[in-house]
Amino acid sequence: MIFIVSFLVVAMLAAAISAYFFKDLLSAVIASYMVSLIAAVLFYLLHAPDVAMAEASIGAALVTAIFVIAIRRTRRHEE
């Protein structure tokens, strides 16, 4: 269990750092989505299924959809 949680934390940190350094905004949003999705899995593994469902539905799905819609209406690449 500790190995799985440690691996997921490292993966979440890698996704967060990559989201920071991406110049393509859509790639940054996808990396941000991965952070939220991994956080939801971690919450589930730590026996908080209600928090995991909220993170997956709001943090991963809704926020990502809003960001993608905003990117479609503006420029995709950062200047």
How many folded domains does the chain comprise?
Answer: 1
pTM of the model: 0.85
In a domain, 78, yes or no: no
User: Is residue 19 very low, low, confident or very high in pLDDT (cuts 50, 70, 90)?
Assistant: very high
Q: 4-18, 23-37, 62-76: which has the minimum mean pLDDT?
A: 62-76
For residue 18, which of 9, 27, 10, 7 has the smallest C-alpha distance? Answer: 27
Per-residue confidence band for 59, with pLDDT thresholds at 50, 70 and 90: confident
**Please, is 32 exposed, middle or buried when counting C-beta atoms within 10 Å of its C-beta (0-12, 13-18, 19+)?**
buried
Q: Which residue segment(s) compose the domain that 47 sits in? A: 2-73
